[in-house]
Structure formats: structure tokens, C-alpha cells
A = this chain, B = another copy of it.
Amino acid sequence: MRTPGSVTKQAILVAARERFAADGYERATIRAIAADASIDPAMVIRYFGSKEKLFAAAADFQLLLPDVGTLPREELGARLVGHFLTRWQEDETLLALLRAGATNDAAAARLREIFADQVGPVVARLVPDPREAARRAGLVATQILGFALCRYALKLPPVVALSDAEVLGWLGPTVQRYLLGD
């Protein structure tokens, strides 16, 4: 049972994520998104109310972090980096959030929310003290988001050139230390 209209609504969401990821919030125009979805700009407003609400709908994102209980404790850093790596490549929503978050406050708030709600609890299961867990989660964020920024947004050549294995080898120990070290 497919709800009618949801097909174009989904098409709009896909186009919106693409545009937001490629251009950021301000430069991604409703007209361009509508054109990508082969539809009239008015329909975008009809379905989502406004550009802000469209972004909010498009920015709904799940990190799908693995259960840290089942992972070997010494490999946590590398595993997490690997998870982020694939998650980043298979879903451009994160890039949209990152690009938009640099200039748009709602997007930044959404990113804060994601890290608080989805990364925080995972780290909290490793570190008892909630204050320290939050700090460690924040440190992980600096490395993960920084890597994504340099590779996918700024496209720094040496960072783009890294193989997945090299990324694991370099960032893995860093994240491992931020999670459990010292």
C-alpha cells in the first residue's frame, strides 16, 4: 500500500539532499531542487511548507552506530572510523549537514543533536562519568568531522588520496585514544 504522492515527495527529498550536500544551505535553491526532481518549485513548498522545513526533513539522519558491547575493546577506534567512513560514503545527508552546518544555525543545531543523541550514548557505555563521556565524544567529533571536512568538502589532495586502510591506520589510534586513552 503506497501512499500516493509519497513517490514525488521522496524524489524531492533525494534531490534536496544532493543539492544541500553539493552547495550548502543558501546556494541550494528550491528551484534547482525542483528541477532535479522534475517538478514545479511550488510543489516543494506545497509538500514541505518552506525551505527550512524541507531542510529539516532532508536532514533527518541516523548514524547507525554499531553496538560497542560486541566489539573487541582494542579495535574500537578503528571500527568506529571504518563505520563512519562507509556511512559517509553511502549517505550524502551527512555531507549536506556538514556543509550547511558551517553557515546555517539550524543545521549546526541538528549536528549538535546528532552527536549528543547518537554518539554520546555510545561513548557513555564505555565511560561511566557522563561529563567525561561528553568530552570524549566531542574529541571524536573533532577528528571525524575534520577528516570529512578536509576530504569531502575542502578536498585537500593528500587527504583525498588516502586509501581506506590508511585512514583506519592513522585515525583509528586517535579515536581509540579519545575514547579510552590516557
Q: Which of A103, A115, A147 has the most CB of B within 10 A?
A: A103
Q: Which of A27, A102, A166 has the most CB of B within 10 A?
A: A102
Among the listed stretches A36-44, A50-58, A82-90, A153-161, which one makes contact with chain B, having 4 or more residues with CB under 8 Å of it? A153-161
Q: Determine if A112 and B146 form an interchain contact, defined as CB atoms under 8 angstroms apart.
A: no
Count this chain's copies in the assembly: 2
Q: Give residues 1-53 of A contacting B (CB, 8 Å).
A: 23-27
CB distance from A103 to the nearest CB of B (A): 3
Decide yes or no: A146 and B157 within 8 Å by CB, A102-B103, A103-B27, A178-B170 being known contacts.
no
Decide yes or no: A142 and B159 within 8 Å by CB, A24-B26, A178-B170 being known contacts.
yes
Decide yes or no: A138 and B111 within 8 Å by CB, A145-B149, A149-B149 being known contacts.
no
User: Which chain B residues border A174 with CB–CB below 8 Å?
Assistant: 143, 174, 177
Q: Determine if A108 and B154 form an interchain contact, defined as CB atoms under 8 angstroms apart.
A: yes
Tell me, yes or no, whether A68 is within 8 Å of chain B by CB.
no
A141 to B159, CA, bound (A): 9
Q: Determine if A103 and B112 form an interchain contact, defined as CB atoms under 8 angstroms apart.
A: no
Q: Determine if A150 and B158 form an interchain contact, defined as CB atoms under 8 angstroms apart.
A: no
Pick the residue among B103, B135, B144, B182 that contacts A146 (CB under 8 A).
Answer: B144
Tell me, yes or no, whether A173 is within 8 Å of chain B by CB.
yes
Closest B residue to A102 by beta carbon equals B102
User: Which chain B residues border A27 with CB–CB below 8 Å?
Assistant: 26, 103
Binding site for B on A (CB under 8 A): 23-27, 98-99, 101-103, 108, 111-112, 115, 134-135, 137-139, 141-147, 149-151, 153-159, 161-162, 166, 169-171, 173-174, 177-178, 182
The contact sample of 10 A-B pairs, CB cut-off 8 A, is A24-B102, A25-B103, A99-B103, A111-B156, A112-B155, A135-B158, A135-B162, A138-B150, A141-B146, A142-B159
